[in-house]
Structure 1
Amino acid sequence: MTTAGVLLAAGAGTRFAAPEHKLLATLDGRSVAARSLEALLDAGLDSVAVVTGAVDLAGALDAVGSDRHGGITLLANDHWESGIASSVVCATAWAALVGAEAVVVGLADQPFVPSAAWRAVAESSGPIAVATYGGIRGNPVRLGREVWPLLPHDGDEGARAVMRRFPEIVVPVACEGLPDDIDTVEDLRRWS
């Protein structure tokens, strides 16, 4: 089965009160977005894309060395302001174009989710698989092709709406790592 990985990176990051966007902020010498992308690339999925929107991430992502990993597709979400659902729709539309049977979706502002978590979720079965950390659901989430038509097209919920509606098709996957977001300058300082 072909599985694609997609990093969602389209939001404005309005809670990050700094001159730069939170995904461009430096954490241990690399941008938050680059750290997250490196983990996804190291998971070894068949294809990788990044959904962008509010900020140009091309320079930060180039630093990862896409040639080392066979390339990264940048997907521009022109409707990013409508919420995360539009980014998930971009992800599944691209996954369909590349012939993937499943897509694993994670967030670019979660730089402590390791490649092992991406890989474990990707290798799981079931229509939807969700990473859990200490029993609490987080990201990434694997979405089988059969659930793509059920996903909302706008708003601030992606797969969560489908998971609530059809809990019987959700497979939890215990993962190591931390699903902590970098949403504020204080979050960044705590990890720096």
Structure 2
Amino acid sequence: MPDPKISIGSVILAAGQARRMGPGGSHKLLAEFDGTPLIRRTAETVLSASVLPAVVVTGHRRREIEDALRGLDLRLRFNAGYGSGMGSSLACGFRDEGLRDRDGVLVMLGDMPAITPDHVERLVTAFCRHGGSAVVRASSDGHPGNPVIIPKALHDLMRNLSGDHGARSLIRQSALPVVDIDIGPAALLDVDTVEAVKQAGGILKG
């Protein structure tokens, strides 16, 4: 069970340019799954798991992403340097003041339609079970995936990421234990192409 003494917030990454969708193509985060834009579905999953505050980092097509999230209890941060890569978006999210006192931060990619609140809660339970001192990562059949909970020991480093450098290199270089939680294929399913969106059951909209 989650430990009430261990606090966990979240960062949802929704700033990317979705280049693999094709030039001038539809935005994967606006594709609808069961009638809901993917980015809203992702945010609702995070909110249902109560990893709060939930910070959404926007960038490319910011206004449309924000419109899709309207009415949800989220903290929105715009990464003006989103074109430089995921590292800058991670840093932007981790710099949010609402996350400063959190023992852990769940990093959630915006384009993972198969992740459920139960998956997130399993990661949270494992993070609490290890006293908030381990990296807890979703996996599938031995392959590391997402989401990932980053413990406080790495938060300062996360705030200083830049360019396309992500969390994986920091995790590898740290001496922190890494706990993999097998949640099945959902851990590896992101939708980076038109074909992937359709195969996952999405309908392209904007």
TM-score calculated relative to the size of structure 1? 0.87
- What is the match of residue 101 of structure 2? 99
Worse-superposed segment, 156-165 or 178-187: 156-165
Q: CA deviation at 1:102?
A: 1.3
Instruction: Tell me the secondary structure at the aligned position of residue 171 of structure 1.
Output: strand
- What is the match of residue 21 of structure 2? 16
Question: 1:83 touches 1:156 (CA, 8 Å); kept in 2?
Answer: yes
Counterpart residue type for residue 107 of structure 1: L
Whole-angstrom CA distance in 1 between matches of 2:182 and 2:36: 27
Q: CA deviation at 1:19?
A: 3.5
Q: Does 1:46 align with 2:52?
A: yes
Whole-angstrom CA distance in 2 between matches of 1:30 and 1:46: 22
- What is the match of residue 3 of structure 2? none
Instruction: Indicate how the Cα distance of structure 1 residues 136 and 91 shifts in structure 2: closer, same or farther if over 3 A, else same.
Output: same
Question: 1:88 touches 1:158 (CA, 8 Å); kept in 2?
Answer: yes
- What is the match of residue 157 of structure 1? 165
Aligned-residue sequence identity (percent) comes to 31
Instruction: Tell me the secondary structure at the aligned position of residue 148 of structure 2.
Output: strand
Counterpart residue type for residue 180 of structure 2: P
- What is the match of residue 145 of structure 1? 152
Counterpart residue type for residue 18 of structure 2: G
Q: CA deviation at 1:119?
A: 1.8
Correspondence 1:1-192 to 2 at 5 A: 1-17=6-22, 19-56=25-62, 57-62=65-70, 65-66=71-72, 71-94=73-96, 99-123=101-125, 124=127, 125=130, 126-151=133-158, 153-166=161-174, 168-176=176-184, 178-179=186-187, 180-192=189-201
Whole-angstrom CA distance in 1 between matches of 2:28 and 2:123: 26
Whole-angstrom CA distance in 1 between matches of 2:100 and 2:173: 28
Counterpart residue type for residue 117 of structure 1: H
Whole-angstrom CA distance in 2 between matches of 1:109 and 1:97: 22
Question: 2:134 touches 2:176 (CA, 8 Å); kept in 1?
Answer: no
Counterpart residue type for residue 172 of structure 2: R
Q: CA deviation at 1:81?
A: 1.2
What is the CA deviation profile of residues 98-134 of structure 1, one whole-angstrom value per residue up to 9, with x for unaligned ones? 5222110010011111112222222313331111122
- How many residue pairs match? The answer is 186
TM-score calculated relative to the size of structure 2? 0.82
Q: CA deviation at 1:48?
A: 0.9
Query: Which consecutive unaligned segments of at least 5 residues does structure 2 have?
Result: 1-5, 202-206
Please give the root-mean-square deviation of Cα atoms over the aligned residues, in Å.
2.0
Whole-angstrom CA distance in 1 between matches of 2:175 and 2:14: 27
Whole-angstrom CA distance in 2 between matches of 1:33 and 1:54: 13
